[in-house]
Structure 1
Amino acid sequence: MASQEINIPKLGIFLGALAAIAAGLLSFVSTSTAGAIKLNLQAKTNAALEQVLPAFDNVPGDDALEIASAEGWPVNFYIARKGGEIVGYAGEVITPEGFNGNVTVMAGLNLDGSVRTVIVTANTETPGLGTAITDRKVQKTIADIIKGGAEAIGLAPNTYLNWYAGKTAGAARWPIVKEGESINGKTGATITSRAVGGAVYAIGKTAVDNIAQLSKGAE
């Protein structure tokens, strides 16, 4: 039985075509995935902005600017407008000081740079300890469960995050307070407490130091 001859040139063309098709498919999938990831991130950011800002009718994500904090962290500021007038700002920063790595914090700010509302938008802190500082969750009692009814509307409470409301960043970071009725720190989660506090301070201090620039909006 005669052996079949392999046509090297044709085989090369065939393999080249397969490689080109595979590369094209990978590029398409990569582009599609990148687009989907970008849209998901934008949706997450928009949802967070609605939680920390007063009512607005613009698109803060399209009215944004980046300013470096004294720590060298990029702070992304979003401008909220209503009827064309600026009604507030939001700042978001990633701090590397978390117990398990990066913690992303967003703070809504009043026109004078004072803190309005704080949320943590991303973290990998220890469940039950660090997450007590970072997470906003509606706490339900047995009576609430039995009673049932509609879910609570609005921002869920967090004693530690609420501590920053109304405060203006000064020359130094705020102290971590673990005792008393008004606290921003938790025993067993000191590193997370400091990370969040440092991030809020970085946002607030950068805003106060650059309030004139923020008041002009993105240009």
Structure 2
Amino acid sequence: MSSEATPNAAQTALRTAAIMLLFTLLFTAAMAYTYHATRPAIEASREQEQMRLVDEVLPPASYDNALLEDYVLVGHTPPPGLDKGARVWRARRAGEPVALVMEAVAPDGYAGRIALLVALGVDGRVSGVRVTAHKETPGLGDYIDPRKDRDKHAPWIAQFAGRSNEAAHWLPTKDGGTLAYRSGATISARAVGQAVGRAAGWAQAQGPQLYQAPAGSRLP
């Protein structure tokens, strides 16, 4: 009886392994199909979110090129805090440079890193700034994010529009600058202001190279 049991056990094990292999192959195929089927929708959603943010910092009527396709890649860039590099988008109108839209990071927020999106015109003036990620204290330092700012008519972040690359423009009034801040949350305002200032200075210095580089190219 034991001689019959051994082959049966082996057959059962092989059959179980075959079923599991088939299940794995079918699951992998289903996942691959789902990925390829949903990828266009995911990409479209990502681009819509990017353009929503861009529209908040740069008026759509100010440029006429396909902005998300007109970009250059930059590597490790300390001034705007891009440790891992990023894309810098170029806005143009009738082929002429209008503005740069770029990411920046304030590493010294009260609760850590503050991620920003900054638009800078060819004249060196800020078109707009938005906070895209932060961990600042709710109800205190999170007013830097217009979605959390209780003043919807004049959000704190709006004061950056039109500022030029002057040292006083990036410092809170408490530090001798012209940047307004909310009582009890100076650190958040200072971190954002200085990060925008560093980004503005870098963009102004690198502007010609950034605008002239071929779309999709990588700069050192």
TM-score when normalising by structure 2: 0.73
Do the aligned partners of residues 157 and 40 (structure 1) sit closer, same or farther apart at CA in structure 2, a change above 3 Å counting? farther
Alignment of structure 1 residues 1-219 onto 2, 5 Å: 5-6=8-9, 7=11, 8-29=13-34, 37-54=42-59, 55=61, 56-67=63-74, 68-70=77-79, 72-73=81-82, 74=85, 76-135=87-146, 139=151, 157-158=154-155, 160-169=156-165, 174-178=170-174, 183-216=179-212, 218-219=214-215
Distance 2:54 2:116 in 1: 12
The answer as to whether partners of 2:173 and 2:180 remain within 8 angstroms in 1 is yes
> Unaligned regions of 5+ residues in structure 1, if any?
141-155
Residues paired across the two proteins, number = 201
TM superposition shift of 1:170: 5.2
8 Å contact 1:90–1:109 — kept in the other structure? yes
Q: Which amino acid aligns with 1:120?
A: V
1 CA distance for matches of 2:108 and 2:44? 28
After TM superposition, the structure 1 stretch with the greater mean CA deviation from structure 2, 166-175 or 63-72, is 166-175
Whether the 8 Å contact between 1:96 and 1:103 is mirrored in structure 2 is yes
- Identical-residue share of aligned pairs (%): 28
The 4+ residue runs of structure 1 with deviation greater than 6 A are none
Deviation at 1:210, TM superposition (A): 0.2
Gap regions ≥5 residues in structure 2: 216-220
Shift of 1:207: 0.4
The verdict on how the C-alpha distance between 1:171 and 1:133 changes in structure 2, with shifts beyond 3 A counting, is closer
Shift of 1:169: 2.9
